[in-house]
Amino acid sequence: MYFLKELKKYIDSLQVEKMDKDKMAKLAVKGTVIMAIKYNKGVLIAGDMRVTRGYDILQEDFYKIYPISGGKAVIAIAGVVAFAIKMIGILNLEIEHFEKREETELSFDAQANLLSQIVSSFLPLVFNGIVVAPILASQDKIYGYDPLGARYERNIWITGSGESFAQGSLDDDWDPQSKTKNDAVKMAVKALKKAQKNAGVGPGRVIYLIENKIRKLTEEDIKNITGGE
């Protein structure tokens, strides 16, 4: 918690009372659908690549998934891009600083707790339409966050504006012990496709697998698994 204080100072200096919610909604650049799915050997984390501002599409090749410093976890971001990137920066900084200062690793639960504190320190902004809801995942755990900073440990977690469309193609009785990597990839691809019914979700996709190592699936890998979809 060495840099969190400075983050709080920064947020206090923003003069939240003077912000105009409607203007903010038009200005804010937003990313849309992300999900994490647990399977027998690890965790899949996926998202689309579109960012929007108001009714405009800004980018179709934006990455919403980033490996976190320390090599244990991956973060996916949905919501206002500017603040989401700031969160990732602070989280990485804190983890790296802790590792060097104390000469030990920071456990995944501690990282999740830290992210929770970072998200909740953005609370004054939430009421002005600036909402960030990340997902943090390691090899055997998924933590989904709500914009107020609460975290939930689940087998499947999905957030973003395409959420309600994608929800239908996710298996309610998903049992991570009996499902393989291929099952998870197939379900994620299907859900991403469904989510495209929302105008905020683009056709691009990024899928990361967190097993013993963290690796990004290429488009070819995805097509091999799903049979050309």
Which region among 8-16, 88-96, 115-123, 161-169 touches another protein (by CB under 8 A)? 88-96
Binding mask 92-131 for another protein (x = CB under 8 A): -x--xx--xx-x----------------------------
Q: Which of residues 3-22 bind another protein (CB under 8 A)?
A: 3
Rounded to a whole number of angstroms, the minimum distance from the CB of residue 92 to another protein is 9
Rounded to a whole number of angstroms, the minimum distance from the CB of residue 8 to another protein is 16
Rounded to a whole number of angstroms, the minimum distance from the CB of residue 6 to another protein is 9
Closest CA to 196 of 229, 160, 166, 156: 166
Is 226 one of the annotated active-site residues of the chain? no
Residues in contact with another protein by the rule CB under 8 A: 2-3, 89, 93, 96-97, 100-101, 103
